Amino acid sequence: MLIPVVYFAVMMTTNYFIYNSQQNLVKNKHILIIGDSHPQRSLNPEYMSGAQNISQPAEPYFITFWKLKKITQSYTPDTLIIGFAPHNISEFNDFKLSDGFWSAHQFKMCYSIEEFKNLPKNIFIDYKTFYKVLWKQTAFYPKRNHANYIGGYTNNTKSNVKDWEIASNRHFYYNGNNLGVSEVAVNYLDSIVSLAKSKKIKTVMVNNPVHEKYLEKIPPKIMKRYDQLKEKYKTSVIMFDKTTDKYPDSLLLNADHLNEYGAKRFTNELNDYINSIKNNL
């Protein structure tokens, strides 16, 4: 038993030093797109010169903050585009390190950059699953790349908006209970904006159109706080909010994501908007 134990310990230690010293994690692009599956599917860097999309599915703001901290140690983009939608500030994000529906994916994404010690006490962490993921990722052989948090644009041309109730229940209800606003998410969003400002990075907050039935299911208290945050941030960031805009169903992948055709339109609309206000920046 001693031989495998020593081997696993050596491999985990080796990988620890590898991922702590890892630099140059993104391409040398002047626009960085970051966030969860909304910007991942709605902003196609093919139509945005000098952009890289590193968004990941279901990414909460605290992981976005950790990855931005890591990335900006060796690279500073000119512009940061971050997804900002009502579901991003919902309390369902507080369960992503404890609920088995999300936790394994989150741990695989963030084990090399995690700052669990800085999370508030109300964010429970399933450490059993975390250490299982950590062991699988680091105990067997030296890995050259531990940047699982670097995602990318992905999409297809399908369209089926019938999941509006499933999507809204996942984002705004938990075990049958209405969810409120996550103050943890709000605080980490503020930290992201502050970090970008300290690095002299221009910040753009975006949200893509969603299906009207999904929109109707967003709880008023979350929508109210979302609108308040828009007012707060629009004095210091570029705000491109298309939450209530209506796209035809043919441009929606499902109730809250754009498909390939919708992403092309949305990306070009964002380009046009940024170009239209350049003189005022």
Q: How far apart are CA 34 and CA 68, in angstroms?
A: 9
pLDDT at site 1: 79
What domains are there in the chain, each with its CATH number?
2-280 (3.40.50.1110)
Assign 101 to helix, strand or coil: coil
Amino acid at 163: D
pLDDT at site 63: 98
Q: How far apart are CA 246 and CA 230, in angstroms?
A: 20
pLDDT at site 176: 80
Q: What is the CA radius of gyration of the chain?
A: 19
Residue 147 and residue 240 in contact, taking contact as beta carbons nearer than 8 Å: no
pLDDT at site 22: 84
Q: How far apart are CA 66 and CA 116, in angstroms?
A: 10
As given in the structure block, the two tokens for residue 157 are: 């041309």
Burial class (CB in 10 A: 0-12, 13-18, 19+), 33: buried
Per-residue pLDDT of the chain (281 residues; tens, 9 = 90+): 789 889 999 999 999 999 998 887 788 789 999 999 999 999 999 999 999 999 999 999 999 999 999 999 999 999 999 999 999 999 999 999 999 999 999 999 999 999 999 999 999 999 999 999 999 999 999 999 999 999 999 999 999 999 999 999 999 999 888 999 999 999 999 999 999 999 999 999 999 999 999 999 999 999 999 999 999 999 999 999 999 999 999 999 999 999 999 999 999 999 999 999 875 55
pLDDT at site 143: 94
